[in-house]
Structure 1
Amino acid sequence: MRAPAGSAITARSPGASFRIAWADGAIEAVGRDEALFADSTSRDMPWLTLATPSTRRLDLAITADVVPAGRLAAQGLGTGPWPDFWTGISDAITLHAPVGTRWEAELDRLNAVLPWFSHDALVHYLAPRGLEQYTGGAWGTRDVCQGPVGLLLALSEMAPLRALILRVLRAQNARGDWPQWFEFLDLDDARGQSSAHGDVVYWPLLAVGEYLAATGDRTLLDESVAFVGDDGPTEATSVLDHLSRALAHIAASTVPGSPLPAYGHGDWNDSLQPADPELAARLCSTWTVTQQVFSLRTLAGALRGLDADATRGAAEWDGSATQAAAAIWAGAAEDQADRSATALAQVLVKDGLLCGYGLFHDDGTVEHLVHPSDERTGLRYSVLPMINAITGDLLSPEAARTHLEALEQHLLGPDGARLFDAPARYQGGPMEVFQRAEASTFFGREIGIMYTHAHLRYAEALARHGDADKLLPALLLANPVGLAGRVPTAAPRQSTCYYSSSDAAFTDRYDAAEHYDRIGTGEVALEGGWRVYSSGPGLFLRLVVETLLGIRRRGDVLEIDPVLPAALDGLTATVPLDGLALRLAYTVGPRGCGPVSVLLDGAALPTTSLVNPYRQPGVGVDLELVRRAVRAGGGLLQIVTA
């Protein structure tokens, strides 16, 4: 069956077709839309109708031939045909505890859900819509730079990651920022929204930095990519020009008299958009500051790492102008990050704790919102700035412990880390500070404040801090398989998909405000939020590979930095490396992190120490040595932690 002429799918994919097959006798008649109307007259609607005899079951096989084979191959999704690619990723990451240990059953449950999370992450990458948004969807700039990037890094699929980075760069506005979201199909309007939350500009920069750090691919910088102008695509220019315009936009979008980024239309939490334009200019999100510093330092470090690759004997840069421009950009980005980090410590910390937001007044004072001293919002603790500051090494070891203690006391619930210590005040419509949080009648997702993605970022902070006994249990709270055994108040839910939130089943916002403490006492059921649609599954896969198992590809170095509970001594695992399986075996000491030795097929590898201000760091080994061993049929890495 050919797609109808003139339809949207025909415009995007000329020659697209679908094939539907069924058993003999299962279908009595095939028609168009005339069967949908009482007068049996077609309205030329794009429907196919099938009439069946009375039956309790109907089996259909539907095959779509929409994307030309050449375009599929150009995406670089693996080296074989599509079914082989899916088979490869569905069991690419596995973990096995020694038989009879306390973690054996839980890791079996983790292995059961990992293929489904790979599926969900692939859905978000290829068609960003979930079961609750089946009629449409687009790539959220922030989302695609997290979930799909995490998926492809976890699977060691660098060719499609490169293509994704270039696609995101093509959506950049000529003025330097990105829209909140953009359409990803070639013939759709690529402009998306003209405005965006204040943090959105940093995510593409972070994604570019993570790609360059993982691959050392300096040729990306010389790619020519168009911007989105007022009248459509502009003339193509270099990736470095895209980075420079983004940095100029960042420098111009600050709170007056401060290097800190202005709030703009909001931050990661979509429910906290400012209630009036004055707040957009005068408010600063502490989380956005941490994201700015981390993103700029990551990309600047990756650019400087490319120069270091050249000095180690790698292929020289194609042109000294690109190399010089990259160094200039890195210096300017580091300067901006350093000034923001200094201002963060001086302005956004009060009584030893980061606030959620700083409100800058004309008299030079700063009001600390979402902080124990806050008398305006009713909120006192915010998880995102705390965990991002730890992950980005912006706190001293003592301050990191202080914030984790506050988080555990005020923000941890039975289902994980919550965005705030209480829901935002609901006043039936009037808004004072934050739009949706103060007006939405629905108590779920960000409004319900247990957003799974933020909880996974909490797990990331635990890994950075070295809390080995807490990391794996935190990750497992996002696994729906066997969840009732971990969270007794969890309502029954589908076990084969990722849930974007854990929604307490209150009657309404008033009920939630009055009885929020009943979540901790187990008196309120916890329901799964939106299914599949989220960048969370890709993030989850990346955390399992890069933080729990501690295997990170960084240029010509393989970083090894696991964070495992001592009870997982004897753990074995497999992770992807260049399309092959890298086998891992762990001897876990009482600390659970900080490798003291690494063996490759029984031979000790030379290691170099990484950097971590909070704990004994991981180590780096020669990636090429590991590659050769894997290609030769070996490649067993034995990792011994302190």
Structure 2
Amino acid sequence: MRLTQNDDIITFGKGEYVYSFLSTGDIFEFTCGNFLINEFQGSAMEGSANNIYLRIYKEGAIKFYPLLGISSKSRLSRGQNTLVYSGEVEGIAYTVTFHPADDGIWFWNVELCGSGVIVDVVYGQDIGVASKGGVLTNELYMAQYLGHRVFETENGYCVCSRQNQPQDGCFPYIQQGMIKGRAVGYSTDGMQFFGLSYKETQKPEALTGDLPNKNYQYEFSYIGLQSEKIVLEGKHSLTFYAIFRKNHEDAIRELEYTHEVVAAFDAFSKLMEEVEDCPQIKVRDEFGEPFASREWSVDEIDALFPERKLEEREDGQLLSFFTPKHSHVVLKQKELMVERPHGTIITTRINPDRVDNRLISSTNYIYGLFNAQMVVGNTSFHKFLSAARGMLNVLKNSGQRLYVKIDGKYRLLTLPSVYEMGMNYSRWFYSIGDDILRVTTYAAAERCDIILQVESMSNKAYDFIVTNQVVMGENEFQHPARVEEVGINRKTLRFRPDPEHWANNPYPGLHYDVHVSDPSYTLSDDRIFFEDGKSRNGTLVTLSIRQSSGFSVVMHGALEEEEEAATISYNFEDEWEKYYRFYRKISGGLQLKKEGEGSEKIEKLNETIWWFTHNALVHFAVPHGLEQPGGAAWGTRDVCQGPMEFFLTTQNYLLARSTLLTVFSHQTLQTGEWPQWFMFDRYPYNAGECHGDVVFWPLKCIGDYLHESGDYSILEEKIPYIDGENGRATLDAETLLEHIKRAFGSIEKRFLDGTHLISYAGGDWDDTLQPADESMKEKLVSSWTQALAYQVLTRLAETLSTVDEAFSGQLRYTARQIKKAFDDILVKDGVIAGFVCREDDGSFKHMLHPSDDSTSIHYRLLPMTRSIIAGLVDKEQAYRNVEVIDEHLSFPDGVRLMDRPARYDGGISHLFRRAEQAANVGREISLQYTHAHIRYIEAMAKLGESQKAWDALLKVNPIKIKDEVSNALTRQSNMYFSSSEGAFLDRYDYEANFDKLRDGSISVKGGWRLYSSGPGIYLRQLVSNILGIRFEKDSLVIDPVMPCLLDGLQVTLNCFGRETTFIYKIADDRKGTVRVLRNSRELAGKPGCNEYRGGKIVIDKQEFLQENGHVEIYLD
């Protein structure tokens, strides 16, 4: 059977503009060439995110009624250039007419007829306004760059929106307002319009009052307009309009296109068209409103979760907690407090010995999205089920959902009473009468299987419908698919891509098998929802199960052809136990214990070890995140940090080796450098370019790997390159040592003429600071990249000295010259400049420096921390860096990248690209980017600043974060957040009130989650640089940097394959010496060198392994 999106679409074409409606009258999509104007593609079952609402004011209350689409009671008719919705509510007759005019203008005319009733009309429209591929890949990201500006006209408010990131060289623009009537209210983001309570009520909050009249630049671009109130006495009409333009080069500085809109409206006003009725489409009466479970009492929570720890409370109310099995439990009331919905990603257990891309993963969300973006292998191109859309569950057809018949009506499950997340599972608890329905999704450990398990805890029977929005490719509604019955009794469903659309794909055997435990299930599509029994979305696969108290659905993904469909019966507890043992092993058995003062902080770290291990492995093995569903590639810089540092810290050397070989096999033959990102499976796609620092990260990795593992055999491994012309592996291979030399050759070509300053090229770690002027790539120098280069080449020279003495000497000489250039040029008046720019006369201009008069920015964090980590600056300069950080870059929620944000001029790039284009105060724009904060921890540990390092570690720990950051807003506790973002409305508010971040007088919220190298780096800082347990070839290094409050801390960690417990005795927090005893015998060790403080102790591996027993570490 072939599954397709049906062609029952109402289309109006006006040149490049195509306005597509579903047969229900809901918007499917508005496009102009490659641009998607709306944000979400609608579905016949639930409609579209947009609508026009009639509000009736009566007896101090507001009643509202949608007038468009399946959610309304409207009759639909159409003419050649019009779509008409008509009906009656509470005695008011209405007619809404959509008319597309020429040249990207369209109107929504609302005619009302009633008597003595006070009403107004609210218009809501989701907007993408970017390339279609960009919006469908990540609508949240595109919204961050869609800048709004509001004008007041004789018709009230008008909202103009410009996409500030170029889309195929264009900056698309949309303007929305009223041309007949007056808009007295507006909103710009779906968070304002729908509100957090929508997740429970399914009713937009904005409709119960006035729109806020504030420009909120967040991640759900949704324009709301509210008409003035009128007293209906007979007929009244008003008209909303929109105009789209493919390219608006300049910022939005004034209201434009007025004459074009007026002329088009005049023509529309004279339009007389005959219309024909469209078939009336109705949802069957047996489908009711979505179901949100009630809140549980403490007694009910106690019954299922008697043992709890790290309870999070607000105003005495329990919000969340952790369990002894390291699961994190969230109550419904907490979900209603957060913008970013609670969720997680589960995946097959990774191979601990080598890189393996044959894994299945699934994203789960608290609001009843039981499986989304289910995918085997490539997380972008191989989706079986669709990804979540938006953050408020406005569109509910995505992924896998569940309907349950309650009191004669099928109800879609949304918010549960309780949501539980474990390493390999999610679990939802719904109270239905006196029963609890438990829904579990979990990943199998040893096979690419995801299992959905539904069970009544009182053994009651229900009717169920499982919906599955099938993709079989990259995005929903784009790829036909085929399904056939296979296996024993032909009761397993095998889904494949349609051969016509999958030709020449590198994975021709890709398929998914779905097996339902109840053999009496019925297979269908969305036709089951409609009175006429007609299918409108053939890719929405439905599985109906009658009168069952429990069932399971096993979903198997495979990259290669399989003759037989294997059906395996799973036990949840067995699979959980396998994951538990795996996580214990891959994290090195790391566990902390402390009694008395500070014990809860230690317990936070214990749970963080589990969850950041989970986060790090997802980032490594199945690259994507909760807010970043697109991925499938390794960022060269990213994989060389988080994953590699985690593997080295936990002595997972086989996996580190395999990762290194994979990375080096993607080095570009022609340049000797690496692409910014690359796919590490059979797809030959990569970025094709890179920033100036990228070449150093693989070199840093191999240097660290050799230093810590002593595995020099890797240098003789022969591996191919990537041909820069076609993205494919070369036929010829060279040793890894030759790869290193080729990379070094590329570095030598990057020096500015006559100097050892490294050109900026496409940028450095802060992607937002890519230069707007292409010529700056060869004129600009990043002090951070310069410091990184010194660190990398120094380590490589050391590790290769016994392998290739001549090459080692060359590396050492170059590192010295890099240091000299840094000292002579990049440091001015005791402050390291963020950048220097070589002028035409050969002089250097210092930027992001107190002497910089071209920006408002005077200090940059990255070179100050990296120069310390690298040991590049002397002790005096290092502490000068700390003074600058303390005075200018330290904030209550962590250290920031710069002392001021880049200027925002309506999204126009003057000096930098994304830093000046983003309209939203998020991610790097927020300046507290957690990854950089973690590197600050590393720098403070290098200096021996134990209290600073410890405090900084806790500030970015998500568990009960308000204990450390008093102005932090509530957020998910078991996921790494990539940034701490000031709760500003927009960039102008941010710039004007930036100093509120310094005194904590504005709240901060968590940014994007999970998909980052940060979790691995965080765990590296904890183990290697704070606890001070590090490994070198044939030796153990003990080098703790710990405050006195950690006296008595016990740490368990596998060292050289043996579980070891370390007990810390801290009399002096790093001012004195370190002694190491085992069984009361002091272990012989050599003092190690440190550029800034007292040395470490290096203990021979054999000496350490001579006996068992606890190890006592004394800081005297």
Query: Could you report, residue by residue, the CA deviation over 1:273-307 in whole angstroms, capped at 9, with x for unpaired residues?
Result: 01112211100000000011111112222223xx3
Distance 2:515 2:1111 in 1: 47
Distance 1:338 1:200 in 2: 21
Partner residue, 2:628: 133
* Offset, 1:48: 4.4
Question: Paired residue for 1:4, among 496, 500, 509?
Answer: 496
Question: Paired residue for 1:383, among 852, 858, 861?
Answer: 861
Partner residue, 2:614: 119
Is the alpha carbon distance of 1:139 and 1:411 closer, same or farther for their aligned partners in structure 2, counting shifts above 3 Å? same
| Corresponding position: 1:285 with 2:779 | no
| Count of residue correspondences | 600
| Contact 1:10-1:16 within 8 A present in 2 as well | no
Partner residue, 2:674: 178
Q: SS where residue 942 of structure 2 aligns?
A: helix
Is the alpha carbon distance of 1:197 and 1:571 closer, same or farther for their aligned partners in structure 2, counting shifts above 3 Å? same
Distance 1:358 1:173 in 2: 28
Distance 1:261 1:33 in 2: 59
Which has the bigger relative contact order, CA under 8 A and spacing at least 6?
1
Is the alpha carbon distance of 1:443 and 1:9 closer, same or farther for their aligned partners in structure 2, counting shifts above 3 Å? farther
Distance 1:332 1:33 in 2: 68
Distance 2:550 2:947 in 1: 49
Distance 2:1038 2:1003 in 1: 40
| Aligned pairs for 1:257-272 within 5 A | 257-272=754-769
Q: Please, which moves more after superposition, 460-469 or 290-299? A: 290-299
| Contact 1:255-1:283 within 8 A present in 2 as well | no
| Contact 1:611-1:618 within 8 A present in 2 as well | yes
Partner residue, 1:498: 976
| Contact 2:1053-2:1059 within 8 A present in 1 as well | yes
Q: SS where residue 30 of structure 1 aligns?
A: strand
Query: Could you report, residue by residue, the CA deviation over 1:5-35 in whole angstroms, capped at 9, with x for unpaired residues?
Result: 556999549476555556x59x953346876
| Aligned pairs for 1:497-536 within 5 A | 497-536=975-1014
Distance 1:39 1:372 in 2: 71
Q: SS where residue 226 of structure 1 aligns?
A: strand
Is the alpha carbon distance of 1:54 and 1:130 closer, same or farther for their aligned partners in structure 2, counting shifts above 3 Å? farther
* Offset, 1:210: 0.9
| Contact 1:198-1:265 within 8 A present in 2 as well | yes
Q: Which runs of 5+ in 2 are unaligned?
A: 1-492, 561-576
Partner residue, 1:565: 1043
| Contact 2:931-2:978 within 8 A present in 1 as well | yes
Partner residue, 1:152: 647
Higher strand share: 2
Distance 1:210 1:380 in 2: 33
| Contact 1:627-1:635 within 8 A present in 2 as well | no
Q: TM-score, normalised by structure 2?
A: 0.52
| Contact 2:920-2:987 within 8 A present in 1 as well | yes
Distance 1:366 1:489 in 2: 41
Is the alpha carbon distance of 1:153 and 1:64 closer, same or farther for their aligned partners in structure 2, counting shifts above 3 Å? farther
Partner residue, 1:443: 921
| Corresponding position: 1:543 with 2:1039 | no
Question: Paired residue for 1:228, among 714, 722, 732?
Answer: 722
| Aligned pairs for 1:67-106 within 5 A | 84-89=581-586, 92-97=589-594, 99-101=595-597, 103-106=598-601
Give the partner amino acid of 2:659.
Answer: L
Partner residue, 2:799: 302
| Contact 2:937-2:949 within 8 A present in 1 as well | yes
Distance 1:624 1:199 in 2: 39
* Offset, 1:580: 3.9
Q: SS where residue 646 of structure 2 aligns?
A: helix
Partner residue, 2:689: 195
Distance 2:533 2:773 in 1: 54
| Aligned pairs for 1:379-528 within 5 A | 379-528=857-1006
Give the partner amino acid of 1:242.
Answer: H
Q: SS where residue 994 of structure 2 aligns?
A: helix
* Offset, 1:164: 0.1
> Looking at CA atoms only, which structure, 1 or 2, has the larger radius of gyration?
2
| Corresponding position: 1:163 with 2:658 | yes
Partner residue, 1:49: 542
Partner residue, 1:637: 1111
Distance 1:249 1:635 in 2: 50
* Offset, 1:361: 1.0
Question: Paired residue for 1:364, among 842, 867, 870?
Answer: 842
* Offset, 1:538: 0.4
Distance 2:1055 2:718 in 1: 29
| Contact 2:496-2:511 within 8 A present in 1 as well | no
Q: SS where residue 398 of structure 1 aligns?
A: helix
Distance 2:907 2:510 in 1: 50
Query: Could you report, residue by residue, the CA deviation over 1:120-172 in whole angstroms, capped at 9, with x for unpaired residues?
Result: 00001101111012243310000000011122122210001000000000110
Q: SS where residue 559 of structure 1 aligns?
A: strand
| Contact 2:637-2:697 within 8 A present in 1 as well | yes
Distance 2:578 2:923 in 1: 38
Is the alpha carbon distance of 1:233 and 1:135 closer, same or farther for their aligned partners in structure 2, counting shifts above 3 Å? closer
| Contact 1:423-1:513 within 8 A present in 2 as well | yes
Distance 1:84 1:277 in 2: 51
Question: Paired residue for 1:250, among 710, 723, 747?
Answer: 747
Is the alpha carbon distance of 1:40 and 1:437 closer, same or farther for their aligned partners in structure 2, counting shifts above 3 Å? same
Is the alpha carbon distance of 1:8 and 1:458 closer, same or farther for their aligned partners in structure 2, counting shifts above 3 Å? farther
Give the partner amino acid of 2:496.
Answer: P
Distance 2:555 2:588 in 1: 24
| Contact 1:91-1:115 within 8 A present in 2 as well | no
Distance 1:420 1:13 in 2: 49
Is the alpha carbon distance of 1:34 and 1:14 closer, same or farther for their aligned partners in structure 2, counting shifts above 3 Å? farther
| Corresponding position: 1:216 with 2:736 | no
Give the partner amino acid of 2:542.
Answer: T
Distance 2:955 2:503 in 1: 41
Distance 1:67 1:558 in 2: 42
Give the partner amino acid of 1:622.
Answer: D
| Contact 2:891-2:999 within 8 A present in 1 as well | no
* Offset, 1:548: 0.9
Higher helix share: 1
Distance 2:507 2:1057 in 1: 31
* Offset, 1:40: 4.8
Alignment RMSD: 2.6
Partner residue, 1:317: none
Is the alpha carbon distance of 1:48 and 1:425 closer, same or farther for their aligned partners in structure 2, counting shifts above 3 Å? same
Give the partner amino acid of 2:875.
Answer: P
Q: SS where residue 333 of structure 1 aligns?
A: helix
Distance 2:664 2:514 in 1: 36
Partner residue, 1:342: 820
Identity %: 36
Q: TM-score, normalised by structure 1?
A: 0.88
Query: Could you report, residue by residue, the CA deviation over 1:358-387 in whole angstroms, capped at 9, with x for unpaired residues?
Result: 111122211110111111111011110001
* Offset, 1:517: 0.6
| Contact 1:274-1:434 within 8 A present in 2 as well | yes
Query: Could you report, residue by residue, the CA deviation over 1:101-137 in whole angstroms, capped at 9, with x for unpaired residues?
Result: 2x11111111122201000000011011110122433
* Offset, 1:42: 9.1
* Offset, 1:507: 0.4
Query: Could you report, residue by residue, the CA deviation over 1:224-258 in whole angstroms, capped at 9, with x for unpaired residues?
Result: 00001124322111101100110000000122221
Give the partner amino acid of 1:213.
Answer: H
Distance 1:153 1:286 in 2: 27
Partner residue, 2:380: none
| Contact 1:562-1:594 within 8 A present in 2 as well | no
Give the partner amino acid of 1:268.
Answer: W
